[in-house]
Structure 1
């Protein structure tokens, strides 16, 4: 990240009199990349063979902090093109938002109030509708966050902490996939190289009430993981499952994953240094329509 420090008078319109005796700054960061992709027409029915995509994403953040500890920041996001999300949902993600979309955050004493119209994720599930405001902070060792969309009369929350070595996270919303109330709890416990985890959710659609238990174990450069899933209210453990192996050696990180449908994922990332990295990904999923092959280079600055 490159940072440009400005005098307090340079951002007086942004910072206001309260920050006149403090300091202000502007930072620029972002990423760019190019990829050769075959997604079997998932992004465009006319593109059933290999095609190129490129993108850039530029983030600009200006901040001001007063002597009394109150800080204000505003962020702008500009970009173009499409980035392949090869290690998550395998979809092309359009980059950049209108320069008029601004993320403003006011912080004091460990608490932050962020305002970003339709730009904040629902804390229970980021597919369950965008939120406009988020209040977050900590009460002792417990972290809390709350979001709301006043126009849509929806909200979500997240509470996290550690008790007796067990990391716990509780999330909830009044706007799940079915438009109703939902909550979930997830926990993990690390014992040296072994980490065990469990999670459950209670949603307004009983078919979405997943429960899971799993583990990950690290052996030098290898990490193996397995999760058994009980899908829905009437499912059984093992009806769905995920297994994975990850190998790390210097600049190379390679992983293989498989699930109950025999869908397989093979990903390799190589750090080229200087903010650049190369990747290759192959996803062979249930049915040909979801298969993905992608190779490319990304650069962060």
Structure 2
């Protein structure tokens, strides 16, 4: 709190001292939410790992369990709990070996060899391990405030300089199937960005490790600088990661753990494995995008990055219907030889009612989605679902003055009701 007060006092003092020349301003904006919510549950996911794999893993873990009692202790069906228990035994063995290497340095070489074997066992167990059911949570209260202060200076050359920071306090709630309550803030002051607006020469934004790349934005959002400029109907954007401490790796496909040698007698500890590795998304140094209007009909865009990732698409409005199309191939997908992700969609507004639908080319049992909304006066309702039956219903009542009461529920039994207002 002391840091917040000092920062606020400094900004207010700065604004008061400089306001006389008309070139400096400080603005505040923010949002607050409060209400009651609960986190939904999830169904159990059955383990796809086999009985033989468990037996092999335990046989390799011969320091504590022998091959003789392995088969007796484990029977089909294999559950997520069984896999977790075995993984716990192996993890304990790794910890014990590492501890012994510290206390008895002479054993380190031999222990390191065993640790590699046990780590490979963990890699095997992690594939298809399943997950246990998670019960729906109880109702809890949430209350949060987010405020942003921006200081702006206009130089004699006409260049506008600005910098922003945010203050976040309280416990918030995000209505999503993979989110929920966030923890109470202990130090909620953070830097947002610094912006240099040179007019016709473009806008340069500095936000270290906080900018998303323009193709693989869901996996790589740690870029540092963004440049935007408009040339006629076209807008050019470039994002760069200039941090030399980044890994700068190229995309790499996943590799499964494999059995490389098995003794003929089937004794404990006779199996050797090549460790599996996860797929690695490329650490992109830069990406660029060009977007342009096509008359009054819509827009088109194309984007590409340093590692060969690329995307293109557009939006067109005809006879009241808005059509959109996008096609993307990220660097990792190119490395793995997977298909492009192509999405088509359409939306239509009929007075107070709007409807929409989309379809994606990736065959993942979740290719299509539909949505609808109704808004009349102060009341609004929205609903959506998809092929995976991930449905969601929300409603809101406008109280005026940028305030509203909101409520929602979804397929995981996430639910909330509360008030939100902007200032």
What TM-score results when the alignment is normalised by the length of structure 2? Answer: 0.58
Distance 1:100 1:55, change over 3 A: closer
Q: 1:15 maps to which residue? A: none
Task: Give 1:10 shift.
Answer: 2.1
Who is 1:52 aligned against? 141
Structure 1 position 24 matched with structure 2 position 24: yes
Matching of residue 194 in structure 1 with residue 325 in structure 2: no
Unaligned runs of 5+ in 2: 1-10, 43-133, 249-284
> What is the DSSP-based 3-state SS (H/G/I as helix, E as strand, rest coil) of the residue aligned with 1:223?
strand
Are the aligned partners of 1:257 and 1:265 in contact in 2 as well (CA < 8 Å)? yes
Q: 1:78 to 1:257 in 2, by over 3 A?
A: same
Secondary structure of 1:224 counterpart: strand
Instruction: Classify 1:21/1:66 alpha carbon distance in 2 versus 1 (closer, same or farther; 3 Å).
Output: farther
State the distance in 1 between where 2:34 and 2:151 align.
29
Equivalent residue number for residue 274 of structure 1 = 401
Task: Give the whole-Å Cα distance in 1 for the aligned partners of 2:310 and 2:184.
Answer: 31
Q: 1:156 offset after TM fit, Å?
A: 2.6
Q: What is the Cα deviation at residue 132 of structure 1?
A: 1.2
| Equivalent position SS for 2:410 | strand
Q: Secondary structure at the match of 1:161?
A: strand
Gaps of 5+ in 1: 13-19, 175-179, 285-289
Deviation at 1:181, TM superposition (A): 3.7
Contact 1:33 1:296 in 2 (8 A): yes
Contact kept? 2:36, 2:141, Cα under 8 Å: yes
Select the residue among 224, 248, 251 that pairs with 2:355: 224
Mapped to 1, the partners of 2:198 and 2:232 lie a distance apart of 15
Aligned residue pairs, count: 275
Task: State whether residues 169 and 188 of structure 2, in contact with CA within 8 Å, keep that contact through their aligned partners in structure 1.
Answer: no
Q: 1:40, CA displacement in angstroms? A: 2.7
What is aligned with 2:211? 120
Larger Rg computed on CA atoms: 2
Pairing 1:104–2:194 present: yes
Residues 270 and 90 from structure 1, CA distance in 2 versus in 1: closer, same or farther, beyond 3 angstroms?
A: farther
Q: Distance in 1 between matches of 2:320 and 2:214?
A: 29
In the alignment, structure 1 residue 243 sits paired with structure 2 residue 382 = no
In structure 2, distance between residues paired with 1:171 and 1:292:
36
State yes or no: 1:146 paired with 2:238. yes
| Shift in CA distance, 127/298, structure 1 to aligned 2, threshold 3 Å | farther
Distance 1:87 1:136, change over 3 A: farther
- The verdict on how the C-alpha distance between 1:158 and 1:22 changes in structure 2, with shifts beyond 3 A counting, is farther
Specify the alignment match of 2:340 in structure 1: 209
SS at match of 1:10: helix
Higher strand proportion: 1
Displacement after TM superposition at 1:75 (Å): 0.7
CA contact (8 A) 1:90 1:292 kept: no
Moved more, 73-82 or 89-98: 89-98
CA RMSD of aligned residues (A): 3.1
Q: Distance in 2 between matches of 1:190 and 1:263?
A: 28
The alpha carbon displacement at 1:100 in A equals 5.9
> Is it true that 1:297 corresponds to 2:416 in the alignment?
no
Partner of 1:39: 39
Tell me if structure 2 keeps the 8 A contact 1:6–1:24: no
TM value normalised by structure 1: 0.80
Secondary structure at 1:101 match in 2: strand
Write the distance in 1 (CA, Å) between the matches of 2:287 and 2:184: 26
Distance 1:88 1:145 in 2: 32
| Separation in 1, partners of 2:359, 2:136 | 36
